[in-house]
A and B are shown apart, each in its own frame.
Chain A
Amino acid sequence: MTTHTPRDEQDASTIISEAASKGTLLSLAGQGTKATMGRPNQTDASISSSALSGITLYEPAELVISARSGTPVSEVVRTLAAKGQELPFEPMDYRPLLGARGEPTIGAVAAMNISGPRRIMAGAARDSLIGVRFVNGRGEAVKSGGRVMKNVTGLDLVKLMAGSWGTLGFLTEVTFKVLPKAERMATLVIRGLKDSKAIDALSQALGSPFDVTGAAHIPARDRQGASTLIRLEGFSVSVDYRLNELRRLLKRFGPSDILEGKGAQALWQSVRDATILTEQNDRAVWRVSTAPTKGPDFTARVAQSLDAQWFYDWGGGLLWISTPLEGDAGASALREATREFGGHATLVRAPAEIRSAVDVFEPQADALMTLTRGIKTSFDPNGILNPGRMYAGV
């Protein structure tokens, strides 16, 4: 299979125009670290952003960075760190979960709207994404947004590109709003709480004036007891003050420890990357977004019919659930739960046969599906860009 590696936007435009005229179906990729996610699809060739690399603009005082889409995330993170800044949304690294190698690219972070624990406080990748350049399925180079953080000029196609998994266009350059890295991070840990009690504690913390930047709950597993994590970041004096206040506020949930330094960082990384679930590689992994207080009911419902394991991020609103790799890998139980409690579930890890057989993304109501198909056609009339990666026929 041919892999195209355009050197610039013009190149990408030529490749895609030609594919459009011949009806050549294209897979879109960076370095392919997330190739095993989404619906498996049949394509004739692929187009990779691997030769589109490099930071094109970085103005620390303006809190903005632009990079060509194939730039490794690690390079962006390093460049920002050198000036004491970071990507506010703390993008997850899917490699450990998927057992993938290679360098994740910044284009994929945009295209898949990849966020982490700080999403509850600082927004998702799509909230920090302020500009994109892409080539649509007609081969036209299109821009939307720009490099300024307040911009309401015209329809916000930036948001449509975020989370469209390469089905609407091939990103060539992305621009993100960034933030200063906090001087200090500290985590309050409460042990031994049952799920519903833990989510109650997290809701209290998130409903406090103390700007919690991470709120996760890891239920008891193996020989380890449950731990409920509440993260604070900021200037050191402020972190001290807020830790004290939070402890006082959450007193009724029992004693708490404070975790700082490398151990705490590693813990949040395992929450971010969902590696808490990866100890058993022979299980499917689902990612569910629902209202925080519905999280415990959701998991309890799923556990009625499945041998499920799980943990909570986003104050209870993000569920990572692992299920046995049997039958539909739990799809019908998960879908039933999303219908009952609201939200949506995505099958993140499963063999291709299962991802072909079940809906990987939450099925949508007919009227929304009609809009989805219409939008796909408006960007990619011949249906050549990552066809079927999200939904059949899209």
Chain B
Amino acid sequence: MTIAFPKPDEAVLARRREIVEGLGRLVAPEALIISEDERRAFETDGLTAYRQMPLAVVLPSSTQEVSAILRFCNERGVKVVPRGAGTSLCGGAIPQEDAIVLGVAKMNRILDLNFENRTAKVQSGITNLGISQAVSHEGFFYAPDPSSQLACTIAGNIAMNSGGAHCLKYGVTTNNLLGVTMVLLDGTVVEIGGDHLDSAGYDLLGLICGSEGQLGVVTEATVRILRAAEGARPALLGFEKVEDAGACVAAIIGAGIIPVALEYMDKPAIQICEAFAHAGYPLDVEAMLIIEVEGSDQEIDDMLRRIVAIAEPFKPKTMKVSQSEAESAAIWKGRKSAFGATGRVADYICMDGTIPTGQLPHVLNRIDEIVKSYGLGVANVFHAGDGNLHPLVMFNTNVPGEMEKAEKAGEDILRLCVEVGGCLTGEHGVGIEKRDLMTYQFNAADLEQQMRVRGVFDPRWLLNPAKVFPLEGRLAA
């Protein structure tokens, strides 16, 4: 447990009763959660090793209620931690004792679907998958597909600029967002963008995406929906050497092919996922690629033939093209359950750095060395097309000191990602988890410019204040 929380503001804690009463005047009784038992459900998110009990939890039902709550908190200097579904892997939604949690999950309606303009307007508490489900009858879908898509909200996706396995072709949240209704800390409601491309003026939509709940609370969003391809089919390629898998990826892209997904798994990951999903993964290879292409049957056949021909010189030990829907589903089930399946065999922390893909063999070797030096194991799954790594550093919580070792190993891995030209986080966000590592990637001028922009929206550090920026060296307004 190496990540510190700021010391709670005693004055705010002392006023808890008054604050709760005040909130009670703004929302219906069932929207305010006060009892310790019920608040406990909100004390952590996907980063479950860290927990903090919030002052209260409020679950508004409208933009107007969100506005009233934020204005109230701003006037009284009460901190606010916004929350979607609480699936953040970096602790982006972990509360603090002197803050209220403002959850948007009750605001989960579809407001408008427009298939001609290819847009969906939704309340921000709708789940990611909920959007795709609402438009699938017309053959459409919402493209960013984080693994947590069943549960995670579009509000959280916007806050973290979430990605997914198919962003090589379709981009991440920021590339699929057209407009938002956002409530500022002082209660002002702003409309940014709309149902057209490229919002006017400064690109505030781009700034809000990935701002981790520090600039305001998004209550409604207009996103692009896309017509799904006629079909999609993956192929599995297994290699004896990591270098061969890396070179094969480079050769495919070099040949002008951008697969819709290009996923990499190393031997430990293959074994863990195969044991769980029985996907038919090869167990005798060091590295495996899942390459998915889209189109008509004829187009898919053509593309997979090209890919197989490109792969030949790298001597794949296994080459298997999915022959049926069931086989495709099994192949994806294995990959998508990587986190859950790993959780069955060990405790783990999931890293999320990105590296230039040319550095892949070097980085994988170094990750292995780093993790071994702490006496731990690692399984690697990642998005090979864009270099977004997810090393799962495995440990045993019951062995004293192991979690701290895993955290240290994770830090070393992220430092390595930055050293080779990459970044600390590709899609999970900074949250509390990587907050203190920001200085690896940014110098003081870089961080200060970001903090000055943050200060335009929240000069007193009331919105999700313990996140993203190191606690030391923060700029006051």
Contact = CB atoms under 8 A, between A and B. Distances in A.
Interface stretch (A155-163, A252-260, A261-269): A155-163
B299 interface: yes
B427 A152 contact: yes
A332 B195 CA distance: 22
Contact of B206 (A62, A84, A160, A374): A160
B207 A156 contact: yes
Interface string A225-267: 0000000000101100100010000000000000000000000
B255 to A, nearest CB: 8
A290 B161 CA distance: 24
Contact of B161 (A156, A182, A241): A156
Contacts of A156: 161, 174, 206-207, 209-211
10 contacts: A142-B446, A152-B427, A153-B424, A155-B211, A155-B468, A238-B302, A318-B197, A362-B201, A371-B457, A378-B455
B116 A154 contact: no
Interface centre among A64, A127, A148, A206, by most B CB within 10 Å?
A148
Given A163-B202, A209-B139, A209-B228, A123 B171 contact: yes
Interface stretch (B21-29, B52-60, B237-245, B350-358): B350-358
Contacts of A238: 295, 299, 302
B250 A127 contact: no
Contact of B430 (A153, A183, A314): A153
Contacts of A318: 197
B368 interface: no
A24 interface: no
A119 B455 CA distance: 33
Interface centre among B227, B303, B423, by most A CB within 10 Å?
B423
Interface of A: 59-64, 84, 113, 115, 119-120, 123-124, 126-127, 136, 140-144, 146-160, 162-164, 168, 179-183, 200, 203, 206-209, 235, 237-238, 241, 245, 289-293, 314, 317-318, 342-344, 361-362, 364-365, 367-368, 371-372, 374-375, 377-379, 390-391
A160 B429 CA distance: 19
B160 A208 contact: no
Given A148-B426, A209-B139, A113 B203 contact: yes
A149 B161 CA distance: 13
A160 B456 CA distance: 14
Contacts of A374: 456-457
A368 B438 contact: no
Contact of A126 (B203, B306, B442): B203
B163 interface: yes
Interface in B160-198: 160-161, 163, 167, 171-172, 174-175, 184, 188-192, 194-198
Interface centre among A60, A208, A364, by most B CB within 10 Å?
A364
A342 B116 contact: no
Interface in B270-306: 295-296, 298-299, 302-303, 306
B42 to A, nearest CB: 24
Interface stretch (B103-111, B148-156, B370-378, B380-388): B380-388
Contacts of B113: none
Given A144-B446, A289-B198, A375-B453, A61 B229 contact: no
Contacts of A64: 356
B453 A390 contact: no
A295 to B, nearest CB: 10
A117 B149 CA distance: 31
Nearest to A314: B197
Contact of B160 (A84, A143, A152, A181): A152
A280 to B, nearest CB: 27
B209 to A, nearest CB: 6
Interface residues of B, number: 95
Contact of A154 (B194, B438, B456): B438
Nearest to B422: A148
Contact of B298 (A182, A208, A237): A237
Contacts of B429: 152
Contact of A209 (B116, B163, B227, B421): B227
A197 B195 CA distance: 21
B383 A150 contact: yes
A378 B452 contact: yes
A289 B196 contact: yes
B119 interface: yes
B133 to A, nearest CB: 18
Contact of A378 (B358, B456, B468): B456
Given A140-B445, A344-B196, A150 B172 contact: yes
A235 B302 contact: yes
B425 A152 contact: yes
A147 B354 CA distance: 10
Contacts of B201: 361-362, 364, 368, 372, 390-391
Nearest to B452: A378
Interface in B96-150: 114-119, 139-140
Contacts of A115: 198
A342 B114 CA distance: 15
A158 B203 CA distance: 9
B386 A148 contact: yes
Contact of B446 (A143, A292, A372): A143
B258 A146 contact: no
A6 to B, nearest CB: 17
B257 interface: yes
Contact of A343 (B196, B422, B454, B456): B196
B204 interface: yes
B219 to A, nearest CB: 15
Contacts of B387: 62, 148-150
Contacts of B249: 61
Contacts of A390: 201
B256 interface: yes
B447 interface: yes
Contact of B256 (A84, A293, A377): A84
A155 B167 CA distance: 20
